[in-house]
A = this chain, B = another copy of it.
Amino acid sequence: MTTKITFLPDGKSAEVAGGTSVVDASIQAGVHLIAPCNGKGTCGKCGVQFQEGAPAPCAADARFYGGSEIDDGWRLACMHRVDERAVVFAAPSTLGKVDFGPSMEGIVLRPNVRKVWVPIGALRGESFTWPEVGRHARGALDEPPTLGLLAQLPALRYAPDMELTVVVCGGRAVAIEEGDTRLENYGLALDIGTTTVAASLLDLNTGEEIARGSGLNRQSVHGSDVMSRLTSLGEDRNLLAVLQRLAVETVGELLERMLAQSGVRRDRIYEVTVCGNSCMHHVFLGLDPASLAFAPYDALVLGPVEARAGDLGLDLPADTAVYALPNVASFIGGDALAAALAVGLHRSDAVRCLVDIGTNGEILVGSRERIVACSTPAGPAFEGASISSGMIASQGAIHRVEIGDDITVDTIGGEKPKGITGSGLIDLCAELRRVGLIDARGKYVSPARLTLQPALAARMLEAEKQFLVARSYGKNIYLTQRDVRELQLAKGVIFAGIEALRIAMGIEREEIAELYLAGTFGSYLSIRSARRIGLVPSLPEGRIRAVGNAAMVGAQMCLLSLDARAEAEALARRIEHVELPTRSDFQDLFMEAMQFPDEEPETF
């Protein structure tokens, strides 16, 4: 005889043989409850709430739960077997590890937000008071509820099948909702880049990404890089509020789109985590970044900052918690920290290298022993902003290029090309170099001096010093000699930064066990092209990995797990900042790194 057991919140179920343990049934259903004491009933970590088919309580249950909790269906999963049809709510903390993006080790879901259900029939009376509701909201009573929650109570009116859900954030009951809204528990992770803002809407019960979006930071109208925005700010102090609002509006637009796409209610988002470079971090929080612009170039704050959505003007309920990841140093922001957290640099036995390419390129080299980091002013070339036909990675952007008899381009979404994005630019230059149209110093070579197919040769317009990449709506897409120069500067400074850190660590190139290339160009990046243009050292291909927007993954981890948050804070204090301009050898490294490698690089 088989019996059906369903696990909430994700609704996964299994038909199991009668007598199967609840923990085994959870594995069959693909839910994976945690049972650290291995079924002895001693650790209390596998607590679940039976909503149907609760078995008779046993002695072990009584050790962990009071009478009213027993009545509410709380049991230790490891102590019971499935004998009749059952529906079980497994709280996030009882669920196992989530396999999560590029993170080297999974994280255990332990969000700052919990939802506590007050079941049908628990409540009596016409109106509701906190002593009554809170009594049923197990674990929600550690700290006083907010005034906001208390003000919500009088509006509730009793109905026969009434259920309530209490939202607990940071140990404090912050809101009360009608119905069983436990399944609606969302958070927002943000990566505020100088050029690109990325946002991700996560289900805090499952760790799943519900929607994602990215867009151009509206601050770009005030200068494409951090320094030019700081300069504008120096001239007009009122600009801080303007820049802050522009960043918030950028997020607001992404959020709007994600909510529409996912059907998630705005007021079911309870926490926001945010990372960014120090300047974007300051501006997003409404803090003056002026101290970053002048010697000694200090950040106003390095540690984590906690705020509320209302303080920032974010279009979410005013009390929504906002957690800004710490910055490591003035020019090693929370985004680089988040990326390091995501790839688990600090857990690695071997020395690994992380290159996070945004408008600044942050580079970290290290292992669990020691991590050094630097920031390089790569500029926005890889986000398209300083390239004549450049654009950020969105619909219609050329993100992949191959040259055979002629050029072939792929665009995001398969649309007609609108411009060229970071990964496309890297491919394009790599291919032009391969066929000889660019020389080792980055200069365009006349097709007359090469043996090329006529179609390809015709694309090089020598008079205008530009190469026709694609024909598009009205405006064709070219790569100019100046664009090539921009790429050389950007890739050169990054390569030189990697070399400087390698030297600071006192290791040889081949001792880098792995190199992670992170950035908003995400999975589009061709490692082969990146090596060919000399963006990264010529490690064997398998030891270079494109990990996408790793900073966003770190921000997501901090949203899903307080442990990850604590880990990030500890990591921020450990990373050693190496200031490049003070290293006499950096200029030499940089001059060298601007060149294109002569040919397909040899690997050792």
Binding site for B on A (CB under 8 A): 125-127, 129-132, 134, 141, 143-145, 147, 150-151, 153-154, 285-288, 290-291, 294, 296, 298-307, 311
Cβ A307 vs Cβ B147 within 8 A: yes
Q: For residue A125, which residues in chain B have a CB less than 8 angstroms away from its CB?
A: 296, 298
Chain A, interface SS category: loop
How often does this chain occur in the complex, in copies? 2
A290 to B128 CA separation, bound complex (whole angstroms): 11
Select A288's contact among B132, B154, B285, B304, beta carbons within 8 Å: B154
Cβ B145 vs Cβ A301 within 8 A: yes
Given the interface pairs A129-B300, A129-B301, A132-B298, the reply to whether A147 lies near B288 with Cβ below 8 Å is no
Given the interface pairs A125-B296, A298-B131, the reply to whether A150 lies near B303 with Cβ below 8 Å is no
A332 to B217 CA separation, bound complex (whole angstroms): 56
A98 to B301 CA separation, bound complex (whole angstroms): 39
Given the interface pairs A129-B291, A291-B127, the reply to whether A300 lies near B150 with Cβ below 8 Å is yes
Cβ A301 vs Cβ B127 within 8 A: no
22 A-B pairs (CB sep. < 8 Å): A125-B296, A126-B294, A127-B291, A127-B294, A127-B298, A130-B301, A131-B301, A131-B302, A132-B298, A134-B303, A143-B306, A144-B303, A144-B305, A145-B301, A145-B305, A147-B287, A147-B305, A150-B301, A150-B305, A151-B288, A154-B287, A154-B291
A311 to B304 CA separation, bound complex (whole angstroms): 25
Taking the closest CB of chain B, its distance from the CB of A256, in whole angstroms, is: 25
Q: For residue A296, which residues in chain B have a CB less than 8 angstroms away from its CB?
A: 125
Q: For residue A147, which residues in chain B have a CB less than 8 angstroms away from its CB?
A: 285-287, 305, 307, 311
18 more A-B residue pairs beyond the given contacts A131-B298, A151-B286, A154-B290, with a C-beta to C-beta distance below 8 A: A125-B296, A127-B298, A129-B291, A129-B300, A130-B303, A131-B303, A134-B303, A143-B306, A144-B304, A144-B306, A147-B287, A147-B307, A150-B300, A150-B305, A151-B288, A153-B300, A154-B288, A154-B291
